[in-house]
Amino acid sequence: MEKKKKNIEPAPVPKQPVQVGDFAFGKENYRLMLIGLALITVGFILMIGGGSKDPSQFNPEIFSFRRITLAPILVLAGYVVEFFAIMKKPKD
């Protein structure tokens, strides 16, 4: 009693033509990436400074609202915009 093996072939997969010259991102994606990069840059620029010229002197300006709160929020917002720009599907 021999069992016959059936030749099962996978269903043919329709091939889509490869379009040469298409970019992975659309114009809106690049615009959002530039906006995110600008937010990150402004956030890091706002963090600059606040130190004292004399190391034995303490400058409380290092703990200002701009450096402790505003700048990190801008940097995080920039990273969120970058993530959204990468994940957004371009319009066809």
Report percent pLDDT > 70 for the chain: 88
Is residue 76 in some structural domain? yes
Range of the domain at 59: 27-87
User: 26-78, pLDDT tens digit by residue?
Assistant: 899 999 999 999 999 999 999 998 777 888 888 888 889 999 999 999 999 99
Task: Please state the pTM of the whole predicted model.
Answer: 0.71
Put residue 18 in one of left, alpha, beta given phi > 0 → left and psi -120 to 50 → alpha: beta
DSSP 92: -
Report the number of distinct structural domains present in the chain: 1
Is residue 8 in some structural domain? no
Neighbours of 32 (CB within 10 A): 19
